[in-house]
Amino acid sequence: MPSGPDSRVSALDSLLEDAGLDAVLATKDASIAYLSGFWGLQLERFFGVVVRPGGAALIAPSLDRESVNAAPGGLERVLYSAGVSNGLPELFERLDGAKRIGVEEDHLNYARSRALIEAGYELVPATDVVMRLREAKDAEEVEGVRRACAHIQAVYEELWASLAVGAIESDVNAHADYLLKRRGARDAGSHILFGRHAADSHGSPDGRALAAGDVVCADISAQFDGYWGDMTRVATAGEPSDWARSAWAVVKEAYDAAVTATRPGATARQVDAAQREIVGAHPEIGEVLHGAGHAIGLEIHEPPFLVPNSPATLREGMIFTIEPGIYNSAQGGIRLEDDVLVGPGGPVLLSDAPLDLRVLGS
């Protein structure tokens, strides 16, 4: 697990020959940050890190010169004037003599891919090459996720203390995002749903009011200092219904099973199966609508994904969300989620936030 941008560049350089590549072009925000320490705002402008044997360069518009020059990595900085150049001539200059270029095929857009091909380069999918390094986190990265979780845990306590019957769903989400941003979040993604709306796990918060007896499914994620935390907790407005108690118990059992399965050598599908078997055994309560979770780090969703068709093998240093849930259109949704490190001896929880079914106002 290489630590720091320069050692990561060296590690990627060492993979080029075996991958049959003359260079790798990283264009994802997270991959650029991983290799250079620089976070940019891409929009329409080109950003990239080129890694070639013995050297690497960060290419970015001069608009970002202050942040580029402040980045901790030791790679060459190449700034271009947006409006005068689109960054590709500078890229071609750094690729001079290379032929087979590994690219992040799930990110590089069609127009830039075509420009590279027309300039004579052979493009080779290399997302897996970059992610092979990014998947296993070093100690500093693990602490980054742990710190993000600590901030989220603190926001939960503020949220539960203030949430009451009559609160408006969209207002509560905006307030949670504000609390995260006030604590220094670079990005925030609160997703807090009330009552039957919580059965729509990706539903958009709206103007509904929290009613007595409603389930509250609160999925809160945020990025601090580059690293994401992603946690889900549940509460009820007043005493839980029989459905809420039963659903929470099933999901907690599934959560425990999936966390226990999150260990080196297990496959992603095995972790998913651990929770799916338990939740799927209770159709009278609700349905299974998603996998057990996903990797997390510089991006909130990273591969591998804990789903039934994934053969990926877990390695020490990976971090996953474990987030089983059960959903019933007439009642709502219950989900429990934590970020779990694949440690040498098994799973390591990166937060200690209580998992209990919170009763608001008690």
The model's pTM: 0.94
- CATH 3.40.350.10 residue window(s) in the chain: 5-135
CB 33 within 8 A of CB 298: yes
Strand partners, 358: 235
* pLDDT tops 90 at residue 54: no
- Residue 157 has phi, psi (to 5 degrees) of -60, -40
CATH assignment of 139-359, among 3.90.226.10, 3.90.78.10, 3.90.230.10, 3.40.1650.10: 3.90.230.10
Residue bearing the bigger pLDDT, 5 or 321 = 321
Enter the CATH code of domain 5-135: 3.40.350.10
User: pLDDT tens, 163-208?
Assistant: 999 999 999 999 999 999 999 999 999 999 999 999 998 899 999 9
Please write the tens of the pLDDT for every residue from 318-353: 999 999 999 999 999 999 999 999 999 999 999 999
Q: Is 103 left (phi over 0), alpha (psi -120 to 50) or beta?
A: beta
Ranges of CATH 3.90.230.10 domains, the chain:
139-359
Please give the Cα distance from 277 to 213 (Å, whole number): 29
Rounded Cα distance between 92 and 118, Å, is: 11
When pLDDT is cut at 50, 70 and 90, the band that residue 362 belongs to is low
